[in-house]
């Protein structure tokens, strides 16, 4: 399986690496694994839904 870093995922999904880190810590990215201090995210993973949004509108 191929992996990408937080930075690469952030660029792909248009969010900060810090937000991707939050997704990983919360277990919202299936298949993400932590190796020492680095999160590895599967290249085919999809961006988790933003919980701050409801029906496409920010609440």
Q: Does some domain include residue 53?
A: no
Q: Token pair for residue 6?
A: 């937080």
Q: What pLDDT digit, counting tens, does each position of 1-59 carry?
A: 899 999 999 999 999 999 999 999 999 999 999 999 999 999 999 999 877 776 655 54
**Whose structure tokens read 């810590």?**
25
Position 55 scores a pLDDT of 63
Stated pTM of the model: 0.79
Q: What is the pLDDT of residues 26-40, one digit of tens each?
A: 999 999 999 999 999
In a domain, 52, yes or no: no
Residues written for the chain: 59
- Would you say residue 40 lies in a domain? yes
Q: What is the pLDDT of residue 1?
A: 81
Percentage of the chain modeled with pLDDT above 90: 78
Orientation angle between helical segments 17-25 and 6-13, nearest 10 degrees: 110
Q: What's the domain range around 29?
A: 3-45
């Amino acid at each position: 399986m191929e992996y990408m870093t937080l930075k690469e995922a952030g660029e792909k999904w248009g969010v900060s690496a810090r937000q991707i880190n939050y997704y990983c810590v919360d277990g919202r990215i299936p298949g993400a694994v932590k190796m020492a201090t680095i999160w590895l995210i599967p290249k085919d993973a999809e961006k988790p839904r933003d919980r701050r949004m409801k029906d496409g509108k920010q609440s």
